[in-house]
Homo-oligomer: A and B are copies of this chain.
């Protein structure tokens, strides 16, 4: 044999790892331990191995694209700063691995089959799915497509803490809501209302659960008159706060399950002449732009949304490039912390 270009197999043998691990290092190294990655890179250098993108693409039949599917109408996706932050985290991680992000929105009245057909037709290498509602047809379509899939937030058919099901990245919604409510209790509030998101989403359910747990742990009973629904929008928060003031004028605190609804609640309270936090304390959830802009500045539960996006992309890359040297990827629940500002 004449001198030929070194193969992937030669690099694997030289580094003492599997072919798949070399492949993953070459493809960006997601999920490969630092130490292993360095060993493989040393072997690549010593053998002067040149990965060939075009050849790789032929072998793997990859498209170089990942679909991000969000089951929400444009109006919500573009009015809630949660989504662009998440997308930034995802797109940076994908860009590091030279993958193109395609955003597909499924609004009310849209045909989910159209998205299913696109996913099944071989135009993408993987899927990230968001904002799933109960009975959503999209997860089944992702399964039918055979594509590696990671969910943003726990899918509706799993309980919090369950870990055997589909891969997802979630935030500690129960714990965060508990922190928010405990904080209001510690400030001496006793008639604490909650404004919830759409309860067909696990994030909204879990935050309501955390609120209930905190009240029960404090020996208080949950008064259903203090539970109002705001659908995660600013207008929803405004209307929910108005309903609460109407039903329970003696309300002395509100935990709004996201910052947008908290901002809406602040508007209603201002219009009603209630001083925040003196008359009514307000705590939100997210710690995105609206929290800092709010008047007064919002006390809220901080979640690192951009990092969650990055983690979703990383999990997906590990699904797309499985390695026998590594444990299979597992779902992640990210921690939260309370940021105390002026509103509560």
- Return the chain B residue nearest A99 by Cβ: B114
Partner-binding segment picked from A71-79, A151-159, A244-252, A273-281: A71-79
The residues in A between 228 and 247 inclusive whose CB is less than 8 angstroms from any CB of B are none
What 1/0 flags go to A66-107 for Cβ under 8 Å of B?
Answer: 010000001101110101100110010001001111111101
Q: Tell whether A65 is near chain B: CB-to-CB under 8 Å.
A: yes
- Return the chain B residue nearest A289 by Cβ: B79
Q: Tell whether A123 is near chain B: CB-to-CB under 8 Å.
A: yes
Bound-complex Cα distance A102 to B106 (A): 11
Interface contact B101-A63, CB-CB below 8 Å: no
Interface contact B91-A74, CB-CB below 8 Å: yes
> Given contacts A74-B91, A78-B81, A78-B83, is CB(A64)–CB(B114) below 8 Å?
yes
Interface contact B64-A117, CB-CB below 8 Å: yes
Q: How many copies does the complex hold?
A: 2
Q: Tell whether A325 is near chain B: CB-to-CB under 8 Å.
A: no
Q: Tell whether A38 is near chain B: CB-to-CB under 8 Å.
A: no
Q: Tell whether A186 is near chain B: CB-to-CB under 8 Å.
A: no
The residues in A between 39 and 66 inclusive whose CB is less than 8 angstroms from any CB of B are 63-65
Find chain B residues with CB under 8 A from A77 CB. Answer: 84
Q: Tell whether A121 is near chain B: CB-to-CB under 8 Å.
A: yes
Bound-complex Cα distance A236 to B114 (A): 40
Interface contact B78-A105, CB-CB below 8 Å: no
**In terms of DSSP, what is the predominant structure of the interface of chain A?**
mixed
Bound-complex Cα distance A267 to B111 (A): 43
Interface contact A114-B98, CB-CB below 8 Å: yes
Tell me the minimal C-beta distance from A120 to chain B in angstroms: 11
> Given contacts A63-B118, A121-B63, A123-B65, is CB(A111)–CB(B95) below 8 Å?
yes
Taking a contact as CB atoms closer than 8 A, the residue among B64, B105, B111, B123 that contacts A101 in the complex is B105
Interface contact B104-A100, CB-CB below 8 Å: yes
Find chain B residues with CB under 8 A from A111 CB. Answer: 95, 98
Bound-complex Cα distance A161 to B67 (A): 38
Tell me the minimal C-beta distance from A96 to chain B in angstroms: 11
Interface contact B65-A88, CB-CB below 8 Å: no
- Return the chain B residue nearest A102 by Cβ: B102
Taking a contact as CB atoms closer than 8 A, the residue among B78, B81, B100, B118 that contacts A114 in the complex is B100
What 1/0 flags go to A99-136 for Cβ under 8 Å of B?
Answer: 11111110100110011011001010000000000000
Find chain B residues with CB under 8 A from A91 CB. Answer: 74, 105, 107, 110
- Return the chain B residue nearest A75 by Cβ: B84
7 nearest A-B pairs in the assembled complex, by CB-CB distance: A78-B84, A103-B103, A123-B123, A102-B102, A74-B84, A100-B114, A100-B118
Query: Given known contacts A91-B110, A103-B103, what 10 new A-B pairs fall within 8 Å (CB)?
Result: A63-B118, A63-B123, A64-B117, A64-B121, A95-B110, A99-B114, A100-B104, A100-B118, A102-B102, A102-B103
